[in-house]
């Protein structure tokens, strides 16, 4: 996925300095940024956006409730913290990962919103679990859409006790003869012992991102790769090839398994 995004960015005139270690930003006398100072030289810039990761903002309650290993607030299946009558949800709190079953830190809108609603229902007397996350996320770079869900890093899968097998395919997004078809690259990861789907990524310019929802649904249902291959996904030439790219990837991965 990264390689395709890299090519696409370059084709749109973006210069990438990958692996360059940033030391600081340098400003002019008026306090306006003029360069990014790197180990191996300065890059002149008009503006800088800093994206260096996130951490949970849980200091406010760190003395009052237990934090998890991620640094976010530890909660049970209903969003209850260690303090009686105190609930937590969203960017400040942990939530269980659907594949590993372990508490994870997810900073996305749907899980926060959903957990908030569930907690509202619970405190109103009708307990509702906050659910799990597959860390499903979608982004766009110029025309290229990317999606990911589940465990896609093989080392992470091994650490979680799986024996991961991965396959990558590239297929059309529509029937080949139909206008608008675009190359769609899908990677799926599964556990060798059980055949269970662990995660996937997708990248392409024609409605690729929404296709990751098939993977997210399969993960929530703990489907095997064979079961994914047998899903009855919609087909008509304007929308998909006969075999949706996700199904083609499942077919190939099943062969490897
Ligand atoms: C630029 C940006 C783009 C994003 N895009 C996406 C996206 O495309 N898809 C996606 O799924 N997610 C996206 N997210 C993430 C998503 O917005 C968050 O995961 C979500 O808003 C978390 O909800 P929350 O209620 O936990 O926290 P928030 O929405 O941050 O709400 C917390 C509230 O608490 C208030 N607050 C904080 N401290 C105190 C205090 N001491 N006293 C009183 N009030 C306080 C804050 O002002 C804020 O209103 C994006 C986030 C950012 C910043």
59-123 and 137-256 have identical folds: yes
- Which residues line ligand 1 at a C-beta cut-off of 6 Å? 60, 90-91, 107-110, 112
What angle (nearest 5°) sits at the alpha carbon of residue 164, between those of residues 162 and 169? 150
Q: Which atom of ligand 1 is nearest to the CA of 60?
A: 41
Span 183-187, mean pLDDT?
Answer: 97
Find the 94 Cα to ligand 1 centroid distance in Å.
15
pLDDT, one tens digit per residue, over 72-115 is: 999 999 999 999 999 999 999 999 999 999 999 999 999 999 99
Atom of ligand 1 nearest to the CA of 90: 26
Per CATH, domain 59-123 is 3.50.50.60:
yes
Spell out the CATH class of 137-256: alpha beta
pLDDT by residue (tens digit) across 28-79?
999 999 999 999 899 999 999 999 899 999 999 999 999 999 999 999 999 9
pLDDT the model gives residue 40: 86
Ligand 1 atom at shortest distance from the alpha carbon of 91: 26
Show me where the domains of the chain are located: 21-52, 59-123, 137-256
């Amino acid at each position: 996925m990264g390689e395709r995004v890299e090519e696409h960015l370059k084709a749109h005139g973006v210069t990438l300095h990958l692996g360059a270690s940033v030391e600081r930003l340098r400003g002019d006398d008026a306090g306006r940024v003029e360069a990014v100072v790197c180990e191996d030289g300065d890059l002149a810039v008009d503006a800088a956006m800093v994206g260096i990761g996130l951490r949970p903002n849980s200091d406010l309650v760190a003395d009052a409730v237990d934090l998890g290993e991620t640094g976010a607030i530890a909660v049970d299946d209903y969003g209850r913290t260690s303090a009686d009558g105190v609930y937590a949800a969203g960017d400040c709190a942990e939530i269980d990962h659907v594949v590993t079953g372990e508490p994870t830190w997810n900073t996305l809108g749907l899980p926060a919103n959903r957990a908030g609603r569930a907690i509202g229902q619970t405190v109103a007397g009708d307990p509702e679990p906050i659910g799990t996350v597959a860390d499903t996320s979608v982004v766009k770079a110029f025309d290229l859409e990317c999606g990911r869900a589940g465990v896609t890093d093989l080392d992470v899968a091994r650490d979680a006790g799986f024996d991961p097998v991965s396959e990558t395919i590239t297929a059309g997004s529509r029937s080949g003869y139909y206008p608008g078809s675009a190359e769609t690259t899908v990677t799926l990861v599964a556990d060798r012992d059980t055949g269970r789907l662990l995660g996937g990524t997708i990248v392409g310019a024609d409605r690729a991102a929404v296709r990751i929802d098939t993977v997210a649904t399969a993960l929530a249902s703990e489907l095997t790769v064979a079961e994914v291959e047998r899903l009855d996904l919609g087909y008509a030439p304007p929308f998909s090839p006969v075999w949706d790219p996700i199904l083609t990837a499942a077919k190939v991965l099943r062969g490897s398994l």
